[in-house]
Structure formats: C-alpha cells, structure tokens
Amino acid sequence: MKIAIAGCAGRMGRMIGAEALRVEGCTLVAGTEPEGSPDLGKDMGELAGAGPNGVRVVADPKALFQTADVVIDFTAPQATMRHAELAGARGTALVIGTTGLDGKHVEALRAAGRRSTIVHAANMSAGVNLLLGLTRQVAEILGPDYDIEIVEMHHRHKVDAPSGTALALGEAAAQGRGVKLQEAAVKVRDGVTGARQRGTIGFATLRGGDVVGDHTVIFATDGERIELTHKTSTRATFAKGAVRAALWCKGRAPGYYTMRDVLGLAEKK
C-alpha cells in the first residue's frame, strides 16, 4: 500500500511515518505540511527518525491523493474536510484520526464515503474501541437507574474539549440507553446547578502535564459504582492503529467505516 500522511511533521505524523516505514507491505510516498511550515522540503524518512527515503514534504494536498493508495489524516477539522473532498473526487482511501469533528463534519465524511473508502475514528486504539462496545453494552443492561459520568484527561496542549474519544464514549452510552447524546449530555457544571437530572450523561475534562489520554466511564447508583477505564501511555498506539486501518482499506468497497469495522468489532448488519 502506498501511504501518504497529511500533517506529516507533527507528533502524530512522525509516528505514523515511522510505523509505515516499519510495517511490511507499506510504502511511504507523500506528505504535507501547511504553507509556511519550516518542515516543507524536508525528507519524510528523516522526520520519522528512520533515515532518508527520498520523499520530500510538500504543501499541496492534491499531491497526496494523486500519489497514494491511502491518505492518513490527523490534522484539523477544516483541513480534514478538504481532504475528504479530494478523496471523494479521486476515489483515494482516507483514514481520519482528526479530533474536534461535529455532526456536520461526519455527514460530509459519509458523503465522501459514497465514492471512496473512508475510515474515521475518534481513537485508533484497539483497547478504546473495545471500551466503546463495553460502554454501550453496560449502559443498555444497567438502564436509567445508574448515572453515567465520563472523565477524560489529556496533556496541557490539547485544544478541544471534551476529547473526541470522550464524546464517542458518550455516544456509545446514549445508544445503549436509546437516547440522543445531544439531548442527554451535560458538559459543564459551575455554581449552584441543582440536583443531577435523571438520565443525563455527564462529562468532566482535565488538562495537565504530558498525559497522552485517560478515559473513564462511571456508572453510579445507590450502593455501588462500576468504572470502565482505558489509559494510553504512548501515541505509538494510535500510529499502529492508523497504519492497520490503512492496510485494511486495500480492496475495500467505498463506504464510511469506523475502527470497529477494521478490528472486526462492528455489529453485523
């Protein structure tokens, strides 16, 4: 598989590049950074810490989709939407780990999936995707007598809150309850808020240090509490998942997929 990386000089981009160079069956063929980036023109292999491979970083995203079988994108929502348009236009597969995407963004990705293979996940980790399934199952079994709270912590530099993974866990809990997350979510508590409303799904966001990503889903009722927790200690976990998803795209029919499809955890239709 010929793999290209959008945002190839960032922390995730470099790790994905290193993983693509390491894994058998992958070739790293292109990478982009925004106009004005000091990394433009640099060798992608050197950025990934694997020695030169002769592929230079460019600014034009069209180059990714003209060269690669699959593009891996961990950038920002606006850039990801542009990449989805290019993927749909050329039929190039696109693996997306960008966070901060909302419902309108996802609809655009689904539209692109009618013409190309789109894999979108708030988190590429196998463990997190297992946690999503467990959260939905536990929420369905326990029912509304249990209050649901989702606590997440990330490093001080993260710009969006709650995290994409926390929101995905909220969606999983809402699906288990048979409700819509946008109607049940409580993302901020401040001052005198009154008693907790039955059936709501609460979020708590923590930021500090160099925490890669901690997520806990709490189910609490009178007399007992169940906590499901996942902790990530290295971003290499996400890079491995992204490259795994890229390889999974080979020969796949156009469509909008998630990491649960890649891992074989999706419910049978």
From the candidates 105, 120, 154, 240, give the one annotated as an active-site residue. Answer: 154
Active site includes 158? yes
- pTM of the predicted model, to two decimals? 0.82
Which run of H or of E encompasses 255?
strand 255-257
- Rounded CA-CA distance 229/239 in Å is 21
Three-class secondary structure of residue 226 per DSSP = strand
pLDDT by residue, tens only, the chain of 269 residues: 999 999 999 999 999 999 999 999 999 999 999 999 999 999 999 999 989 999 999 999 999 999 999 999 999 999 999 999 999 999 999 999 998 888 899 999 999 999 999 999 988 998 999 999 999 999 999 999 999 999 999 999 998 899 989 999 999 999 999 999 999 999 999 999 999 999 999 999 999 999 999 999 999 999 999 999 999 999 899 999 999 999 999 999 999 999 999 998 876 55
Which run of H or of E encompasses 84?
helix 77-90
Q: Domains of the chain by range and CATH? A: 2-120+235-262 (3.40.50.720), 126-232 (3.30.360.10)
Active site includes 105? no
Contacts with 107 (C-beta within 8 Å, 6 or more apart), sequence order: none
Unique residue bearing structure tokens 């988190």: 123
Amino acid in position 221: T
- Rounded CA-CA distance 263/269 in Å is 16
- Rounded CA-CA distance 171/168 in Å is 5
Three-class secondary structure of residue 216 per DSSP = strand
**For residue 230, which phi and psi values (nearest 5 degrees)?**
-135, 135
Q: How far apart are the first and last CA of the chain?
A: 28
